[in-house]
Structure 1
Amino acid sequence: MTITQEDELDGMKEIGRIVANTMHAMSRAMEPGMTTRELDAIGRSLLEREGALSAPEASYDFPGATCISVNEEIAHGIPGDRVIAPGDLVNIDVSASKNGYFADTGASFCLSPKRTQLDRLCRDGKRAMQIGIAQVGAGKPLAGIGQAIGRFATARGYTLIRNLASHGVGRSLHEYPEEIATWPMRDERRRIDKGLVLTVEPFLSTGGRWASEGEDGWTLYSDPCAPVVQYEHTVVATERRAIVVTLPG
């Protein structure tokens, strides 16, 4: 989606606030002993209260209102009977629509007792996302996002999952530009249009390079096996900077 009118930006900010509030409320409610299905039910209730529809459920018939991935699961985890345990690494990804506008956000959380390596990975994963967002602006190269994140990851000794990309969003969950690399891509020549709505969501790892699909047809795992974190915002490109619409409020 490319925003050209103020009411379109207002619509994106409304759904962005809803998914952000939902994701953060789920993170605050999460505790050892609860199942991922129970956590998902909290997210569903919050979305319904705001008159929003789960995007993965409505768009792709995903078996849950939100995606919850634990430890070895790195994305698209199906809410179910898995019990969240102390020290787990949990990713919560919330995307939804309201009044024809879609927004997408996600974050990874380390439950106490926190392991030093995972805690550092979480901090650096969030920083990698922020570095990518700083490259978003009208007229700037799309490749700049992946180049900047790649430099940061290499300098810190991390790898990036290279088949899970950022994407356009706004009028649907995934739209043009459908594949925005969050790793260096030499042959990427596209530029960012003013008003373009997109996600920035690097998957930072201590060794993983690819996402492989599990037997359930949804859940993704790191190959080679290694911890992975994901942080994601939906942003709008302007002439000066990126407007982050997935902020709680």
Structure 2
Amino acid sequence: MIELKTPGQIERMRKAGAIVGETLDLMRRTVRPGITTQELDRLAEDYICGRGAVPAFKGYNGFPATLCTSVNEEVVHGIPGLRKLESGDIISIDCGAVIDGYFGDAAVTLPVGDVAPEVKGLLEATEAALYQGISQATRGKRLYDVSHAIQSYVESRGYSVVRDYVGHGIGRAMHEEPQIPNFGKPGRGPRLEVGMVLAIEPMINLGTYEVKTLSDHWTVITKDGRASAHFEHTVAITENGPEILTRS
């Protein structure tokens, strides 16, 4: 069942979302060649806790860290560790926080130093696809209008949409109904209503859409080893259109 949030509940989610957005801004300022993914994770955890929130991912289904840090061909759920970022890498950073019982969730993919033009194009297209999807998150639309907007934009630019992982509803739990694929035919799925809150998150690959999970049972990579990008916002459907709750 899809839970509609009251204005008071959405206000609480704004608090959680702002902390996530601020944490990702900190990551934008911090990512550089030579830093480890574990160092990024520690900085993020310190910031989230310092704002009075709790890292939403740490301990979630056994996940061991505050951030998901996915580098290059890693699509999602990369575990922070001793890996040092190098110039030319890209890193997808997925971050969640919970405060006053409500969750925020967002992701960004960042270049490390100078990246190849084709990879830069992938990042730009994935972020633009997120906003294409958000533009459809309005009262009266259907859920798959969001999905179709993302897919059509991405595929028109020659990239592929990951099928195995999707966006989701969010609120008092990290993952709520509905699931939000990044592909599909328009005019299908539940009708969007004021009070829905959605985590919209295109995961887009430079090559094939096919993925596989590594032996750590978390890290998902592209099957062909080519780069992947991931952008996400938590979005509330309001009387006045979509409101991004995870903007800093």
TM-score scaled by length of structure 1: 0.94
The range that moved more, 185-194 or 112-121, is 185-194
Is the contact made by 1:209 and 1:224 (CA closer than 8 Å) also made in structure 2?
A: no
The question of whether the paired residues in 2 share the 8 Å contact of 1:164 and 1:211 is answered with no
2:226 corresponds in structure 1 to: 226
Match for 1:152: what amino acid?
Y
The one-letter code sitting in structure 2 at the alignment partner of 1:89 is: I
- The answer as to 2:15 corresponding to 1:3 is no
Distance 1:223 1:68 in 2: 18
| Cα distance in 2 for residues equivalent to 1:210 and 1:21 | 32
One-letter amino acid of the counterpart of residue 153, structure 2: F
Match of 1:204 in 2: 204
Are positions 1:103 and 2:104 aligned together?
Answer: yes
Q: Which residue of 2 aligns with 1:121?
A: 122
Contact map agreement 2:72 2:226 (CA 8 A) in 1: no
> 1:187 Cα deviation (Å)?
9.3
Amino acid at match of 1:222: T
Q: How does 1:21-60 map to 2 (within 5 A)?
A: 21-60=22-61
Count residues with an aligned counterpart: 246
Which SS does the other structure have where 2:58 is aligned? helix
Q: Residues of 2 paired with 1:217 and 1:186: CA distance?
A: 33
Q: Does 1:151 align with 2:152?
A: yes
Aligned position for 1:81: 82
1:66 aligns with 2:34: no
Q: Are the equivalent residues in 1 in contact too, given 2:161–2:204 (CA < 8 A)?
A: yes
Query: Residue 173 of structure 1: CA displacement?
Result: 0.5
User: 2:244 is matched with which residue?
Assistant: 244
Partners of 1:18 and 1:47 within 8 A in 2 = yes
- Whether the 8 Å contact between 1:196 and 1:237 is mirrored in structure 2 is yes
Q: Is the 8 A contact 1:208 1:227 kept in 2?
A: no
Matched residues in 1 for 2:86 and 2:33: separation?
5
1:176 aligns with 2:183: no
Residue pair 1:68, 1:92 contacting (<8 A) in 2 also: yes
Question: Does the 8 Å contact 1:56/1:65 carry over to 2?
Answer: yes
Q: Distance in 1 between matches of 2:28 and 2:94?
A: 11
Q: Which runs of 5+ in 2 are unaligned?
A: none
Segments of 4+ in structure 1 off by > 3 A?
A: 185-188
Amino acid at match of 2:243: I
Aligned-residue offset at 1:217: 0.8
Unmatched tracts of structure 1, length 5 or more: none
Q: 1:138–1:195: 8 Å Cα contact kept in structure 2? A: no
Aligned to 2:16: 15
**CA shift in 2, pair 1:166/1:20, >3 Å:** same
Corresponding residue of 1:195: 195
Return the alpha-carbon distance in structure 1 between the equivalents of residues 201 and 8 of structure 2.
Answer: 26
Q: Structure 2: which amino acid aligns with 1:18? A: I
Code of the aligned partner of 1:164: Y
| Aligned residue type for 1:183 | F
Q: RMSD between aligned alpha carbons?
A: 1.4
Q: For residue 166 of structure 1, what is the aligned residue in structure 2?
A: 167
Pick which of 207-216 and 183-192 moved more: 183-192
Q: Which amino acid aligns with 2:225?
A: C
Distance 1:55 1:156, change over 3 A: same
